[in-house]
Structure 1
Amino acid sequence: MKTLTLLRHAKSGWDDPVARDFDRPLNTRGRRAAATMGRHVRELGLAFDAVVASPAIRVDETVVEFERGLGRALTPVWDRRLYLAAPTTLLDVVHECDAASDALLLIGHNPGLEELTLLLVPGGDGVLRAAAEEKYPTATLAEMTFDTDDWAAVTAGSGRLTRFIRPRDVDPSLGPDGD
């Protein structure tokens, strides 16, 4: 059994005058949401034995705040391919994960994370999939399980969405975010 968790970066600051989208930092609300989600993951007792993240500034800052809430380091592998990646590229990254790892966390961007979730989880898979299809807000976490021992065997429609947690589900003051 493999567990894939996708975490979208927290809310970034569009008002910050940066030259490149890659360099856009989190805003105050985003920092708070990332730390809140980290605390919630700690309370749920979730753990990851492999973490791959986009090197964009807003993802790096999401990791820092998430770790603060989680109370431990994630030590991600920074992979440029995750920056604004298409779902097929994200799936390539999943397929490359060491089969010895059972719990993989990808931290990145939309629309790729949402599209990957919808690709991997069959239509009609219930309330959680419907929520993911409606909107995948910033700092949202989606967890899927796969009945396989090899990441290379993860294919379209082979997953089961077991969690879809938005920041507002944990702290109502963090939603709706309007992004």
Structure 2
Amino acid sequence: MSITLYIVRHAKAEDRAIFMADFDRKLTSEGVMAAARIGRYLHGKAIQPDIIVSSPAPRAKETANVVAEQLGYEVAQIQFDEKLFEGGPKAYLAAINAVPSASQTAMIVGHNPDVTYLAEFLTHQRINSMSKGAVVGITFEDVTWAEISGRTGSITFQIAPKQLSINDEL
């Protein structure tokens, strides 16, 4: 039996202003559109996560909300894990290991460099740096969510908003 994880990096956010905390940065209009393109692309691939877990930082939360809307996932069901903001890759792994065993698919939305490190750790495949709004699909065979660790998954696809044409979104 296989389970699938989708790792999403938040889309483009506003630049950090002098008096703005990094946590408080929101998506730009370009970021909102990029998240929508990724969501439409995933919807077109019939991807429907059983659970979405996101960093509570506004830029990640907004990305999760926009992607969820495109997938027909109930936005109110998105779970937020405060440890995903500045918690490092271990926080992401802990969130993945806590996914309910009944779930076949999960999505986690967060920040670089943690999401890139996580994808590379889980698959032992080099993906370089995930671009803003990018998603990596990883499949795991014959393990539970609680058993996921390094080198247990395989990348099934990797896509960024800039790689999508209008035809890909329809």
| Both proteins in one fold, TM over 0.5 | yes
Is residue 10 from structure 1 mapped to residue 11 from structure 2 by the alignment?
Answer: yes
**Aligned-pair Cα RMSD in Å:** 1.8
1:70 to partner: Cα distance? 3.1
Letter in 2 for 1:40: Y
Number of aligned residues = 164
Shift of 1:83: 1.0
Counterpart of 2:163 in structure 1 is 169
1:116 to 2:118 alignment: yes
**CA deviation vs aligned residue, 1:123-178 (integer Å, no higher than 9, x gap):** 4xxxxx4xx22x21010000101112411111211110001011111139xxxxxx
Instruction: For 2:95 and 2:122, locate their aligned partners in 1 and report how far apart those are by CA, in whole Å.
Output: 14
Task: Show the counterpart of 1:33.
Answer: 34
Q: Among residues 75, 95, 98, which one is paired with 1:96 in the alignment? A: 98
Deviations 1:100-120, CA, capped at 9 Å, x for gaps: 111010011111100000001
Per-residue deviation, residues 64-91 of structure 1 (Å, max 9, x unmatched) = 3223433443421111011133112211
Tell me, yes or no, if the aligned pair for 1:84 and 1:110 is still in contact at 8 Å. no
1:151 to 136, 145, 161: 145
Q: Identify unmatched segments of 5+ residues in structure 1.
A: 124-128, 173-179
Q: How far 1:3 sits from its partner (Å)? A: 0.6
Percent identity between the two aligned chains:
29
For normalisation by structure 1, the TM-score amounts to 0.84
CA contact (8 A) 1:38 1:69 kept: yes
Distance in structure 2 (CA, Å) of the matches to 1:137 and 1:90: 18
Aligned to 2:71: 70
Describe the shift of the 1:150–1:107 C-alpha distance in structure 2 as closer, same or farther (beyond 3 A). same
Structure 2 gap segments, 5+ residues each: none
Could you report, residue by residue, the CA deviation over 1:26-80 in whole angstroms, capped at 9, with x for unpaired residues? 1121011001111111111101001111110111211232234334434211110
Equivalent residues in 2 for 1:102-141, closer than 5 Å: 102-123=104-125, 129=126, 132-133=127-128, 135-141=129-135
What secondary structure, in the 3-state scheme, does the structure 2 residue paired with 1:31 have?
helix
CA contact (8 A) 1:51 1:104 kept: yes
